[in-house]
Amino acid sequence: MEFLHPDELVLVDKWELNKSAMFRENITPRHMKDVSAAFSAYFQGDPEEVFRQAFEAVVNWSRDNPKVRILRKDSVLAARDFPDGYFDVIYVDASHFYESVLADLYEWGTKLKRGGLLICNDFYESAIGARQNLGVIPAVSTFMKRQGFVPVAVSAMPFSDAYLTNDPQSEQVRSFTSAIIVSAFPKVKLPSEALLAFHHDIHVVDGKQIKVPSLSLQ
């Protein structure tokens, strides 16, 4: 809000643990046990209480800002509240299972203006991600092939963001790309075909787990 000064900021989340979505896909009982354990470790306590506090914090943060709209509902259903081509930028960070990610991208992708940016959080694969049955990378790949979106950038962070667009020649995308080029962030240009190989290697240094973005197949 401080840097982009948007005309409107819409925050969508149910702010509750959707247990049915956690096990929506056809995975084995043993894998379901692994997923459940991974989520319990992630929340480090009562997930419902974590979500309650998160929602309370969002409400307090946005209370005096008329530009912020909060929709407490399922992300797929919330997308249908908006006309096509409504948003300049959409940031997707909902359920990370393949089918859920693909559903979100299909619904929200149509709400993006021509030449806007669709950003996918946790473009991430690792041994830890496998325990949670994450499917962001393959879902993004499927979506791009079917809907004509192309990658603009991927952040080299412990939990990367993937930036997609439906028009790489738009003024907004060119401005965004130029800002990346002149920024101090390290960068490398890669073919879009390399995205499916993108993952994070886990290294243990001084007893701490370090996530390193990688394209290595070894």
DSSP result, 42-89: HHTS-HHHHHHHHHHHHHHHHTT-TTEEEE-S-HHHHHTTS-TT-EEE
62-91 pLDDT per residue, tens: 999 999 999 999 999 999 999 999 999 999
Alpha carbon distance, N-terminus to C-terminus of the chain: 41
At 179, which amino acid appears? A
Alpha-carbon span 75 to 13, nearest angstrom: 6
Overall residue count recorded for the chain in this entry: 218
pLDDT at 26: 46
Query: What does each C-alpha distance from 218 to 170, 197, 200, 205, 215 come to in angstroms?
Result: 37, 11, 12, 20, 9
Taking the CA atoms of 159, 165, 169 and 174 in sequence, report the sign of the dihedral they define: negative
31 shares a domain with 132 = no
| DSSP 8-state symbol, 214 | E
Q: Domain boundary at 73, 102, 132, which?
A: 73
Q: Give long-range contacts, CB 8 A cutoff, 24+ apart: 168-171.
A: 169/115, 170/114, 170/115, 170/116, 171/115
Same domain, 60 and 88: no
Contact of 212 with 203, CB cutoff 8 Å: yes
Residue 115 shares a structural domain with residue 186: yes
Same domain, 64 and 116: no
What's residue 38's pLDDT? 60
Residue 46 lies in domain = 1-73
Type of residue at 125: E
pLDDT tens digits, the chain, 218 residues: what are they?
Answer: 666 788 999 999 999 876 555 545 445 445 555 556 666 666 776 778 888 999 999 999 999 999 999 999 999 999 999 999 999 999 999 888 889 999 999 999 999 999 999 999 998 877 766 766 778 999 999 999 999 999 999 988 878 899 999 999 999 999 999 999 998 877 777 777 777 778 888 888 888 888 888 877 65
What tokens does 190 get? 């890669």
Based on the fold, state whether residues 14 and 68 are members of the same structural domain.
yes
Do 15 and 42 fall into the same domain? yes
Number of domains making up the chain: 2
Residue 41: what pLDDT? 66
51-62 residue pLDDT tens: 899 999 999 999
* Residue 144 DSSP class: H
Express as a percent the part of the chain with pLDDT over 90. 50
Rounded to two decimals, what is the model's pTM?
0.84
Residue 20 in tokens: 């049915």
